[in-house]
Structure 1
Amino acid sequence: MMALTNEEIRKVITPLLLSGAKMLDKHCPKCGAPMFEKDGRVFCPLCEYREQKKRQEMKGIEDILMKKIRYLVNNLPEDLEELERYLDIIEKLIRILEHYKKLEG
């Protein structure tokens, strides 16, 4: 679990309090932060923030992998040996991409 700075914690919690969310006297079993309630939903804002950051990082990795795959596909060589090397690299990138998608979902 990534540690959040005090500044990040304030950036997550302050808008919740200003929007009318209630800080509860219960704590998150996962990270120990105070739980909040808003619109009938009880949640840990810090765990949600971490999850959102993780999804953004995964999306960035996915974008980079797709860009590399597109580049290789658009620049396939004529030489058969070189073509096989490109296809091996593309296959490995696709496997990595599938792995990240499984982690995400």
Structure 2
Amino acid sequence: MPLMLSGAKMLDRHCPKCGSPLFEKDGRVFCPVCEYRAKKQKEKIDDVKGILMKKLVEVTNSLPSDPEEMEKYLRVMEKIIDVLKKYKELEG
């Protein structure tokens, strides 16, 4: 197991969240399963946020001069910004 080869020590306690054995390394106790899942989830969120930011820039750069059309674009921009705010809230 790579964790043990890196000097981590498997403890006789289990993660209260997923039941996996807890490990200790450099004085830090952690669950490799939950930590891995959290890292993967953060990567997915970062990917979605990146896509939303690109779309926001794209919409901003293509704003039409017609006021009625511009209003539609602004509504789309507001929705994108709202979603980005919700992701930020989730991150804490």
- Normalising TM by the smaller chain, what interval? over 0.9
Aligned to 1:54: 41
Higher relative contact order, chain-length normalized (CA < 8 Å, sep 6+)? 1
Query: Is 1:99 matched up with 2:82?
Result: no
Aligned to 1:42: 29
Aligned pair count reads: 92
Query: Is 1:28 matched up with 2:23?
Result: no
- TM-score relative to the length of structure 1: 0.85
Name stretches of at least 5 consecutive residues in structure 1 with no aligned partner: 1-13
State which of 65, 68, 71 in structure 1 corresponds to 2:52.
Answer: 65
For residues 48 and 35 of structure 1, what CA distance do their matches in structure 2 show? 11
Quote the sequence identity (%): 60
Name stretches of at least 5 consecutive residues in structure 2 with no aligned partner: none
CA RMSD of superposed structures (Å): 0.7
- TM-score relative to the length of structure 2: 0.96
Q: How much does 1:17 deviate?
A: 1.1
Aligned ranges 1:12-23 → 2 under 5 Å: 14-23=1-10
